[in-house]
């Protein structure tokens, strides 16, 4: 499947639609090798193996209340005459209980192990506590106020699967099962190269015709969120020789190289041809997509290459709608792209003939359904739109005018 993804005859013309681009990118990516790391360092890493409970969690019955442990059968008749039971002692969490004799009760704290013979707990507020004995006023049922063995998980039960992220809750479950270390996929190593003679560093005051490098910051934060490690972030001007040297260096250190700028067909758009001269092979060189039409994807050896537009909004869309899924699959995610949701449109959109249209929007939920409002200015050169949006509206090709109330597909960009 990987070989087919890079067959130059598959998609003649080297321009593909949005769905085909995703298909090609995911076909080219395999989860990276795994490594064993301490569970305490595995936050948001992606598990590489099936993990099962090797015993019940927890393997003994526990009290669910502060009260008294007893045999339920010893409480029969409590609702008519009351039942008096002597108290044999007190159990706390962590204690090793002795057996409980028939006709006796034992004071017990929440979480303490049940003494052998006991099968119910009566809450302390439901008895008349007379120190060395208690008086029951209502009968109990077997199992009342008890956490049974294995109430979290039974022995052999699957706790996590390959592709699952180590969330806080999952980490707690794995810790309870005794997994001090876990096998996770290695983080993707990504090299970022932003190009353009007009681009200057963030801490530099731009002169006439110059702009600060917002794309590198956007990519670095997005990649960190998606589980990748940025191993290089550099800038190259539009001269072919220095650009080639920078791209060669990037391909030597990363599982994935992401570039911005120099991606179109202008006189100084050298990036794609420079990659080819360095031995890269493209699965596609452009997209039937607005924005981010010049986006390209290929590989050289085991290193994948994503060429993104230079305009900030277009670069953001290219990463969020396409490259993000590639990064997440390399990292082992079983759900590379965020799940699309259906939302009611609050505004209007004119679809684009023969191309997908991805728009920035604000997604809200009233507790019953989703609603999305397109941002007013969708210009690809803007930086503000990516900051104001929390979702991308994905509009299929066509000539339709979508009015308020229409149902559209939306992907969250902050998920």
- Residue 114 half-sphere exposure toward CB, CA atoms < 13 A: 26
Look at residue 183 and give its three-state secondary structure: strand
Angle at 326 between CA 325 and CA 329, to 5 degrees: 85
CA gap 212, 244 in Å, rounded: 22
How confident is the model at residue 263, as a pLDDT? 87
Q: Which residues of the chain register pLDDT less than 50? A: 1-13
CA gap 328, 105 in Å, rounded: 56
Q: Is the dihedral of CA 211, 217, 222, 227 positive or negative?
A: positive
Does the bond joining 166 to the residue before it have cis omega, within 30 degrees of 0? no
CA dihedral 167, 170, 174, 179 (to 10 degrees): -20
CA gap 141, 130 in Å, rounded: 23
First to last CA, the chain: 29
Beta strands in 150-255 (DSSP E): 158-160, 181-185, 189-195, 199-200, 211-212, 229-236
C-alpha distances out from residue 12 to 15, 248, 285, Å: 7, 27, 11
CA dihedral 151, 156, 158, 161 (to 10 degrees): 150
Beta-carbon contacts of residue 366 (< 8 Å; ≥ 6 apart): none
C-alpha distances out from residue 276 to 153, 233, 249, 257, 383, Å: 53, 21, 15, 14, 30
Angle at 253 between CA 252 and CA 255, to 5 degrees: 100
**What phi and psi values does residue 194 have, to the nearest 5 degrees?**
-95, 135
How confident is the model at residue 266, as a pLDDT? 78
DSSP state of 242: H
How confident is the model at residue 131, as a pLDDT? 86
Q: Specify whether the backbone of 295 is left (phi greater than 0), alpha (psi in -120 to 50) or beta.
A: beta
CA gap 248, 276 in Å, rounded: 11
Q: Give pLDDT tens digits for 286-336.
A: 999 999 999 999 999 999 999 999 999 999 999 999 999 999 999 999 999
Q: Of 328, 339, 300, 337, whose CA–CA distance to 30 is shortest? A: 328
How confident is the model at residue 355, as a pLDDT? 96
CA gap 363, 346 in Å, rounded: 10
Q: Give pLDDT tens digits for 154-180.
A: 999 999 999 999 999 999 999 999 999
Q: Of 137, 9, 40, whose CA–CA distance to 81 is shortest? A: 137
Domain annotation for the chain: domains and CATH numbers:
2-33+186-330 (3.40.980.10), 49-57+152-185 (no CATH), 62-147 (2.170.190.11), 341-412 (2.40.340.10)
Q: Which residues pair with 359 in a beta bridge?
A: 393
User: How would DSSP label each residue in 254-300?
Assistant: -SEEEEES--SSSTT--HHHHHHHTT-EEEESEEEEES-TT-EEEEE
How confident is the model at residue 268, as a pLDDT? 75
CA gap 324, 400 in Å, rounded: 29
Look at residue 13 and give its three-state secondary structure: helix
- Answer for the pair 259, 195: CB distance below 8 angstroms, yes or no: yes
- Answer for the pair 21, 322: CB distance below 8 angstroms, yes or no: yes
- Answer for the pair 65, 121: CB distance below 8 angstroms, yes or no: yes
- Answer for the pair 162, 79: CB distance below 8 angstroms, yes or no: no
How confident is the model at residue 297, as a pLDDT? 97
């Amino acid at each position: 499947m990987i070989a087919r993804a890079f067959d130059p005859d598959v998609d003649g013309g080297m321009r593909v639609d949005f769905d085909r681009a995703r298909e090609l990118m995911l076909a080219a990516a395999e989860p990276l090798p795994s490594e064993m790391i301490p569970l305490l360092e595995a936050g948001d890493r992606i598990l590489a193996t099936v993990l099962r409970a090797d015993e019940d969690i927890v393997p003994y019955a526990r009290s669910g209340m502060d009260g008294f442990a007893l045999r339920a059968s010893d409480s029969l008749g409590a609702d008519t005459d009351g039942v008096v039971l002597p108290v044999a002692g007190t159990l706390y969490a962590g204690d090793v209980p002795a057996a409980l004799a028939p006709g006796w009760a034992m004071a017990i704290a929440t979480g303490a192990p049940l003494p052998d013979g006991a099968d119910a707990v009566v809450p302390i507020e439901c008895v008349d506590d007379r120190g060395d004995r208690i008086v029951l006023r209502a009968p109990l049922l077997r199992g009342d106020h008890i956490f049974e063995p294995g109430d979290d998980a039974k022995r052999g039960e699957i706790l996590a699967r390959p592709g699952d992220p180590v969330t806080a809750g999952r980490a707690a479950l794995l810790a309870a099962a005794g997994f001090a270390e876990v096998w996770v996929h290695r983080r993707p190593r990504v090299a970022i190269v932003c190009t353009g003679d007009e681009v200057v560093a963030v801490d530099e005051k731009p002169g006439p015709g110059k702009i600060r490098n917002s794309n590198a910051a956007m990519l670095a934060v997005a990649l960190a969120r998606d589980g990748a490690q940025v191993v290089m972030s550099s800038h190259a001007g539009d001269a072919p020789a220095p650009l080639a040297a920078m791209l060669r260096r990037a391909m030597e250190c990363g599982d994935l190289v992401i570039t911005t700028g120099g991606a179109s067909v202008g006189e100084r758009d050298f990036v794609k041809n420079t990659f080819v001269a360095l031995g890269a092979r493209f699965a596609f060189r452009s997209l039937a997509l607005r924005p981010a039409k010049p986006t390209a994807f290929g590989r050289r050896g085991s290193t994948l290459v994503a060429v993104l537009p230079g305009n900030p909004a277009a670069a953001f869309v290219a990463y969020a709608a396409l490259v993000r899924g590639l990064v997440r699959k390399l990292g082992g995610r079983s759900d590379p792209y965020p799940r699309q949701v259906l939302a009611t449109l609050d505004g209007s959109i004119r679809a684009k003939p023969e191309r997908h249209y991805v728009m920035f929007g604000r997604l809200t939920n009233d507790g019953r359904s989703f609603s999305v409002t397109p941002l007013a200015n969708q210009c690809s050169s803007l930086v503000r739109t990516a900051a104001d949006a929390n979702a991308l509206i994905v509009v299929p090709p066509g000539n339709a005018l979508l009015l308020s109330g229409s149902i559209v597909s939306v992907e969250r960009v902050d998920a």
